[in-house]
Amino acid sequence: MAARSEARTGMSDRNRPLTIAVLGLGLAYLVAPLVFVVVNSFNDSSYGGWPPPGFSLRWYERLADQDGFLSAALVSLVVAALAALGAVLAGTAAAVSITRFRYPGRRLIESLLLAPLIVPKVAIGLGAFILFLQAGFYGRDGALVALHLVLLLPFAVNIVGGALVRIPPVYEQAARDLGAGPVRAFASATLPQLRRSLLAAYLLCFMISFDEVDATVFVVAPDQVTLPVSMYQYLQKYQDPTLAALSTVLIGATFALVAVVLATAGASATAGLQGGKGRTR
């Protein structure tokens, strides 16, 4: 019985070539621009002419001479690290509140927490720029972190909330019954089960912040340009493969990081992208 329905509802041999072809074409489309960025970083032609006239490492040498990218990368790393940390901490507390408790206004709070996903980034970016300017906060160290934190909150709430719904509260209650305070009960009974989701949430938030252009481009002061914004500005002026070399370095670094991460928290990160279905019951 099991074998028969497997053959019917699963994949039959007749469909296999089609399945592979659909997936193959789609994946080729997804990977193509990345592959050609890497290939082009070794292109000797200065305008990235095709086919490459020769192999060259000179774009990597030129990249090493540009200190603008390095300082921008440092800004991006610091902003992403702090904003992701803030978003995961605040997002976890909020997720605990809206998944573990019932109170009036809970739905409203949940909608507000997820609202930055719907509002266009351009609107948030421009609004934040005006707000920071009038509050004397523009150009301060915390300005970008504050903006990114708000943009990241929905993702953190989604991932952690989605995980919390799957963890029964009985363990925590048992800890309470054995005399633990609410914080200790949460830390000893629920937190260990949340570890992977917290890691996934942090990494996803970090990546989103590290990549953010649409809102950031309005808020950055000239001396605090982030890496994607500086790449954006560079690409508007020049089209030479220096950017390809930089991109290749970035691709290499992220892929190395991800190889490690996928082994530990991959499933939860995917769940986060699926929107944390059934967050509230």
Binding part of the chain for another protein, among 45-53, 57-65, 158-166, 193-201 by CB under 8 A, reads 45-53
| CA distance linking residue 46 with residue 168, whole number of Å | 59
55 binds another protein (CB under 8 A): no
Is residue 74 at the binding interface for another protein, with CB under 8 A as the rule?
Answer: no
Among the listed residues 48, 58, 85, 191, the single contact to another protein using CB under 8 A: 48
Q: Is 207 in the site for another protein (CB under 8 A)?
A: yes
3-state DSSP assignment of residue 33: helix
Q: Going by C-beta distance under 8 Å and a sequence separation of 6 or more, which residues neighbour residue 171? A: 189, 190, 193
Q: Which residues have a Cβ under 8 Å from the Cβ of 125 and sit 6 or more positions away?
A: 147, 214, 215, 216, 217, 218, 219
Does 264 bind another protein (CB under 8 A)? Our answer is no
126 binds another protein (CB under 8 A): yes
Q: Is 167 in the site for another protein (CB under 8 A)?
A: no
Burial of 158 (C-beta count, 10 Å sphere; 0-12/13-18/19+): buried
Beta strand extents in 14-66 (DSSP E only): none
Q: Which residue in the set 228, 265, 268, 279 belongs to the binding site for another protein (CB under 8 A)?
A: 228
Q: Which is nearer to another protein, 142 or 192 (CB)?
A: 142
Choice from 69, 129, 155, 206 touching another protein (CB under 8 A)? 129
Residue span binding another protein (CB under 8 A) among the ranges 6-14, 63-71, 158-166, 191-199: 6-14
- Report the nearest approach of another protein to the CB of residue 113 (Å): 6
139 is an interface residue for another protein by CB under 8 A:
no
Contacts of 248 (CB under 8 A, 6+ apart): 37, 38, 41
Tokens at residue 165, please?
């719904």
R_g of the chain, CA atoms, integer Å? 23
Residues near another protein (CB under 8 A), total: 102
Only segment of 18-26, 56-64, 67-75, 191-199 that touches another protein (CB under 8 A): 18-26
How far apart are CB 188 and another protein at their closest, in Å? Answer: 15
Q: How far is CA 20 from CA 13, 77, 150, 245, in A?
A: 11, 39, 40, 33
Interaction between residue 59 and another protein (CB under 8 A): no
Under the binding rule (CB under 8 A), the answer on residue 34 touching another protein is: yes
Binding mask 169-188 toward another protein (x if CB under 8 A, else -) reads: xx-xx--x-----x------
| Binding range to another protein, per CB under 8 A, among 63-71, 159-167, 191-199, 262-270 | 262-270
Angle between helices 242-273 and 16-40 (to 10 degrees): 140
CA-closest candidate to residue 85, choices 152, 134, 21, 27: 152
Residues 81-110 that bind another protein (CB under 8 A): 86, 89-91, 93-94, 96-98, 100-103, 109
Structure tokens belonging to residue 14: 């007749």
Distance of closest approach, residue 180 Cβ to another protein, in angstroms: 13
